Structure 1
Amino acid sequence: MKHTYLACAFFVLLFSGCETTQQIINNLPTTTTGQPNSLQIASGLREALTIGTQNTANRLSAPDGFFANAMLKILMPPEAQKVESTLRNVGLGGVVDKAVLAMNRGAEEAAKSAAPIFINAIRQMSITDAIGILRGGDFAATNYFKQKTTAALTTAFSPVINNALKKVDATKYWADVFTVYNRFSKTPVNTDLTAYVTERAINGIFYEVGLEEQKIRKDPAARVTDLLKTVFGSPLAQNRY
């Protein structure tokens, strides 16, 4: 029980008070008539992904973008659930709730920096990348973003989240208390709270990007321009090419 009481003390302290023309020509298709050409595919993908990622960033960076979303809300780490339960049982549920709110507010603030990072990845997308994404299955674009933007998102998110948590001394007390807690517990808690919240925030961003990708792939009503209708309504996009 010693480590549980230490954790309880922590929470009280914490919350009480473009490619060249030649490249484009080389990539133009010479197959079935009526299919979008390579340049159209690349332009359509860039347009779709720009819309989708901006929608995602705007939605998640709004107040309660994470906190009020049951799928994305950042909760205490699974390893700390015993501590959380103990706190609630002794009447300190409000303390836990404040901790959860602080983590989600940090994620919402960090999400404001996501759109420029995604736009940069979209601008660097080659025609080969675009064709691969179009033909690559339901989450090909999302997986592309994970590969191209995770490092940049982590770099951008970490200081924002860290600053949000430091306002209430969260990172200090988390590290101090749970370093001791881990000496007694068989299930250690990550002592880097900023890393934990950053990882969860980025996972939430990619989850929402995946939903936007599904919308544009499967819902004709989401294809709001002629170019999107041409590209995503083609057999190529339906994996029938």
Structure 2
Amino acid sequence: MDRRTVLSSSWATAMGLLALEALPSAGWAAAFSQADASAALKAALERGAQVAVKQLGAADGFLSNDKVRIGLPDVLEKAAPILRTVGRGAQLDELVTSMNHAAESAVSLAQPLLLQAIKSMSLQDAQHILQGGENAVTDYFATKTRTPLGQKFQPVVSKALDKLSITKRYNDLTGKASKLGLIQGQPVTVQDHVTQRALDGLYFVIGEEERRIRKDPVGTGSALLKKVFGAL
């Protein structure tokens, strides 16, 4: 079974539970208890989180995905055309590649905290997810894990960037841009930029699967979904 199939199956199970909100309360009670629904949701989310982390933590997991690839910080993106005309194009490209590889090295740290957020999910949390909008799962993960994950990511990102001398190269590039009058004020650090964009990418992948399955739950072929929709 390939990675995509596993991911779809995992999230299909989770989104099947999300579809329970459409059932009449009597039908829900007959098919599942609230505790059972919560336990099943936790199990499905656990598998989904594991696969998302594996996908982004793979070689070129960020770099090869246009939707989550980490680009230059805004200040350098705006200055890039001029920097390329003065011979800094290769450095800019190298910076992008290295930032994405640094994100790969950090993303594996997300799994324990995502799993802890799932395990600590209350019945009320589960109900909010079941009855929430298309980003309910993603919002839950972000609320529970973004701050602690940022704290764990940054040292790993910093180490990866320093190993490749990327921090120095980034500072050289921003310094050159400042001298050319292309940057005003203090630019964001490369460590902060990579950390925040890596987190954005992680939640995006989770959210993308959530929205896809919410939009077409029947198309996933989930046995649970067939059972739920058959009861409507």
TM-score normalized with structure 2 length: 0.77
Higher Rg: 1
From 81, 86, 106, the equivalent of 1:85 is 81
From 52, 63, 67, the equivalent of 1:67 is 63
Name the counterpart of 1:32.
26
Contact 2:213 2:220 in 1 (8 A): yes
Identity among equivalent pairs (%)? 34
Name the counterpart of 1:142.
138
Between the aligned partners of 2:83 and 2:171, the Cα distance in structure 1 is: 18
Contact 1:66 1:104 in 2 (8 A): yes
Matches for 1:117-136 after TM superposition, within 5 Å: 117-136=113-132
Q: 1:206 to 1:50 in 2, by over 3 A?
A: same
RMSD over aligned Cα atoms: 2.8
The alignment partner of 1:44 has SS state of helix
Between the aligned partners of 1:189 and 1:84, the Cα distance in structure 2 is: 17
From 180, 188, 193, the equivalent of 2:190 is 193
Q: 1:47 to 1:225 in 2, by over 3 A?
A: farther
Q: Which stretch has the larger CA shift, 167-176 or 121-130?
A: 167-176
Superposition deviation, residue 191 in structure 1: 3.9
* CA deviation string 1:23-54 (max 9, x = no partner): xxxxxxxx413353201220122122112211
User: Of the two structures, which has the highest relative contact order with CA contacts closer than 8 Å and spacing of 6 or more?
Assistant: 2
Superposition deviation, residue 186 in structure 1: 5.6
Contact 1:72 1:204 in 2 (8 A): yes
Superposition deviation, residue 116 in structure 1: 1.3
From 183, 203, 223, the equivalent of 1:206 is 203
Contact 1:216 1:223 in 2 (8 A): no
Contact 1:79 1:188 in 2 (8 A): no
Counterpart residue identity of residue 120, structure 1: Q
* CA deviation string 1:55-94 (max 9, x = no partner): 1101000011100111111111121124321232244422
Contact 1:77 1:189 in 2 (8 A): no
Contact 2:157 2:195 in 1 (8 A): yes
Counterpart residue identity of residue 129, structure 2: I
Superposition deviation, residue 164 in structure 1: 0.9
Contact 2:79 2:177 in 1 (8 A): no
Q: 1:157 to 1:224 in 2, by over 3 A?
A: farther
Between the aligned partners of 2:72 and 2:198, the Cα distance in structure 1 is: 13
Contact 1:179 1:191 in 2 (8 A): no
Superposition deviation, residue 174 in structure 1: 3.2
Matches for 1:6-21 after TM superposition, within 5 Å: none
Between the aligned partners of 2:175 and 2:41, the Cα distance in structure 1 is: 47
Counterpart residue identity of residue 49, structure 1: L
Contact 1:39 1:127 in 2 (8 A): yes
Superposition deviation, residue 106 in structure 1: 0.4
Q: 1:155 to 1:193 in 2, by over 3 A?
A: same
- Which structure has the highest helix share of the two? 2
The alignment partner of 2:46 has SS state of helix
Q: Which runs of 4+ in 1 moved over 6 A?
A: 231-235
Name the counterpart of 1:12.
none
Name the counterpart of 2:217.
219
Unaligned runs of 5+ in 2: 1-24
Superposition deviation, residue 97 in structure 1: 1.2
The alignment partner of 1:32 has SS state of helix
The alignment partner of 1:68 has SS state of coil
Q: 1:224 to 1:55 in 2, by over 3 A?
A: farther
Counterpart residue identity of residue 147, structure 2: A
Instruction: Give the count of matched residue pairs.
Output: 205
* CA deviation string 1:147-206 (max 9, x = no partner): 100012101211111111101222245346636855855644624110011001100101
